Amino acid sequence: MFFRPRTKPGNDNSAAVDDLQDVGQRSLIRMIFATTGLTLGVFCVLQFMAGNYLFASFELLATGVLLWGAWRIVKVRNLLPWIYLYLLPTFSFLLYIIVIPNASKTAFVWVYSIPVLSYLLLGRKRGSLLSLPFVIGACLLYLYTYPIQLDAQSLIDLGNAVFCGVMIIIFVHLYETRRATAHQQLQHMARTDALTGVASRGSFQQSLEQSIREAQRSQAKLVLVVLDIDYFKAVNDQYGHDAGDQALRYICNSLSQRLRATDTLGRLGGEEFGLLLRNTDGQGAEPLVESLRAQLCSQPMRYGDEEIALSATFGLAEWPVDGSTAEQLYRCADQRLYRGKELGRNRLVGRGSSQDQQRGE
């Protein structure tokens, strides 16, 4: 984290949410690999005892591969191919055990694990696309291998099997839908400051670092602006914290109305905010930032019957002139912000003359 210690950390961090989900998924896949491998190992022993040496050898090989995968999965960068390499052979094997000679009719119950594993590891869309053909194929193979008699008992058995499978698919589909919705809401909370609705500190930092990487590839210009609301503590002390909260939202709304769709506004902590202006240089950004500064100080916020005068001090840094990394850019913008405060606040300090260019009232 390159933000200086004096700023309060954001409420959430979207990177932490994604990392947590990735760690959880890896742990889940590792457990599934290990559990499946150990289960096959048990059946391998039973097959050897039953004299099915060829089938037992295959299960022994599969057991070794799965246990190796459980050990290796923590170091894999892309999980999706590994998931498919597990699911496709596993589901094909579950269909195969339905039709092998002298197979137990109860082996069909393993088919119920197909939608559960598919949704669990692939999500709703991919899970449904993968599981549906295998479930239908399993039903057809079962009916082909064990023809259903048209008597009451046989129809009851068929109904139990079919409706149990349908209910499992419905339940896992509803569960995955709700889980995906909850995760999207959590990501939104992680990326957004709860009070102002602008980007959170962690989300803003990610945007800045990604924008620098993109600018390095395309040689595009990039400007970072750090602003701090002037005398914000006095607003809280005189009018109360509710007025302070409204002032933060008011300033964010005022700034957002003048920014382009490609720009990013984020709250860095307390009364400090960051502006990320893409595809522009310092010379092009300064008139925009100056107009934002002038607008803030010329339009007081109405709070009940009161009008609260607000202003902010801005520090501007341009990539790559003022820094090639996010930390260097932020340090430069931060120094110019403090320079503006020393000069009396309510001004923009950017790159310019020997003392940096100052504008203000």
For 119-156, how does the pLDDT look when each residue is reduced to its tens digit (9 = 90+)?
Answer: 888 888 888 889 889 888 888 888 787 777 777 766 77
Helix 326-342 vs helix 201-218: crossing angle, to nearest 10: 120
What is the average per-residue pLDDT within 286-291?
A: 90
Distance of CA 148 to the CA centre of its chain: 48
Residue 69 has a CB neighbour count (10 Å cut-off) of 20
Q: pTM of the entire structure?
A: 0.57
Q: How far is CA 144 from CA 103, 135, 137, 328, in A?
A: 14, 14, 10, 70
Distance of CA 252 to the CA centre of its chain: 24
**Which pLDDT belongs to residue 23?**
60
Q: Rounded CA gap, 141 and 99, in Å?
A: 7
Of 7, 6, 5, 1, the C-alpha closest to 193 is 7
Q: Which domains does the chain have, with CATH numbers?
A: 14-191 (no CATH), 201-360 (3.30.70.270)
Q: What is the pLDDT of residues 188-241, one digit of tens each?
A: 776 788 888 888 888 898 889 989 998 888 888 899 999 999 999 999 899 999
Residue holding tokens 């839908």?
A: 177
What is the average per-residue pLDDT within 242-269?
A: 90
How big, in percent rounded to 5, are the helix, strand and coil portions of the chain? Answer: 65, 10, 20
Q: Classify residue 358 by its DSSP letter.
A: E
The answer on pLDDT for 13 being more than 60 is no
